[in-house]
Chains A and B, each alone.
Chain A
Amino acid sequence: MAAIYSLYIINKSGGLIFYKDYGIQGRMDTNDSLRLASLWHSMHAISQQLSPIPGCSGIELLEADTFDLHCFQSLTGTKFFVVSEPGTQNMENLLKHIYELYTDYVLKNPFYEMEMPIRCELFDINLAQAIQKDRVSYLGR
C-alpha cells in the first residue's frame, strides 16, 4: 500500500524537470508525464486567473475519485506536486520538505544547470528517505 503515487517538479516555464513514481499505481510513461506536467502548469495558471479571490496563488489540491494531487509553488515559480492516494494527509509538509531538499541537493550542486532536468544522485537518495519516512509515519497512524 502506497500513499504516494508519484512526484513531479516543474520549472517556471512549465517544463518537467523531475518525475518519479512510487509503486505500481498511477505509473506513467515519459510522454504522459510530460503531458501531465505541462497540462498542470497551464491549469494552475488558469486557476489563478479564474479565482474570485484576488492574489490567488493557484490550485493547491485537486481531489479526484482515484487520486489526490497536492501542489506547492515556490515564490520563484517552481512547482512541486505529488499524486497520492485519496485522502492522504500531511502532503503540504512533505512538499515543503522536498522543496528544502531541492534547494540543498539540486541548487547547491555547482554542476546543476538551472531550469534543466534534475539528475542529482544525492537528491534521489535524500528524496527516497523522505518519502520512506513519510510512508512509515503514514502506516503507523
Chain B
Amino acid sequence: MAPAVPRSGDAIFANVERVNAELFTLTYGAIVRQLLTDLEEVEEVNKQLDQMGYNIGIRLIDEFLAKSNVTRCVDFRETAEVIAKVGFKMFLGVTASVTNWDTEGTCCSLILEDNPLVDFVELPDTCQGLYYCNILSGVVRGALEMVSMKTEVTWVRDMLRGDDAFELQVKLLKQIPEEYPYKDDE
C-alpha cells in the first residue's frame, strides 16, 4: 500500500481544534443521564447511545478520511490498526491496541486502557446493565458501514463494571462490494 499512510494520529491530533476534556466528559455524562431519565430502561439507553453513535459515525468517517490522508486499507487487519492508532487518537486523544484476532482475520478486539469518557463516572447499582460508552461502539459501526464494511461492535470488558480495561470487539460481518449493481448480460 501507499507508504504515506500515517501509523499514528499524533500529528493530526496536534492540528485539529480541541475542546476542554472536562467539558467533553461532563457533556457526555449529562447526555447519558438525560437519556436515563427520559427512557427509564437501561436497555433502551444502550440502544439509543448506540444509535446516536451510529449517526455520528456515518458523518465522522468523512472528516477522518479528509484530515488523516489514509488511503484504502488492504484488509480488515489494517483497518483495525488504523482505527486504533489514528482514529481513536484523532477524535478521542487516546490510542487503542488491537488484539485477539480470530484465525480468519475478521474479528478482533480494540483495547482502551485510557478512556476520557469515564473520567468521573461510577455506575450506581440501578444502572448495572448500562454500557456507559456504548456511543463509541455505534461510532465505529457507523463509520465502517460508510466504507462498505458491515460490522458488529460489542463491549467485552468495561472498567465501570470492574474489568481492568475497555475491550471493544469488532466483528466483520460482510464486506459490501463497491461495484455498482450492474447485471451484465441480463
Contacts and interface: CB of A to CB of B under 8 A. Distances in A.
19 contacts: A49-B182, A74-B62, A74-B65, A74-B66, A75-B65, A75-B72, A75-B147, A76-B61, A76-B65, A76-B146, A99-B66, A100-B63, A102-B66, A107-B59, A107-B62, A107-B63, A108-B63, A114-B58, A114-B59
Q: Which of A74, A75, A99, A100 has the most CB of B within 10 A?
A: A75
Contacts of A107: 59-60, 62-63
Do most interface residues of chain A lie in helix, strand or loop, or is the interface mixed?
Answer: helix
A45 B66 CA distance: 22
A77 B61 CA distance: 12
B161 to A, nearest CB: 31
Nearest to A108: B59
A103 B60 CA distance: 8
B69 to A, nearest CB: 9
Interface string A88-100: 0000000010011
Interface of A: 45, 49, 74-78, 96, 99-100, 102-104, 107-108, 114
B67 interface: yes
Contacts of B61: 76
B62 A76 contact: yes
B147 A76 contact: yes
Contact of B66 (A49, A77, A96, A114): A96
B120 interface: no
A42 to B, nearest CB: 9
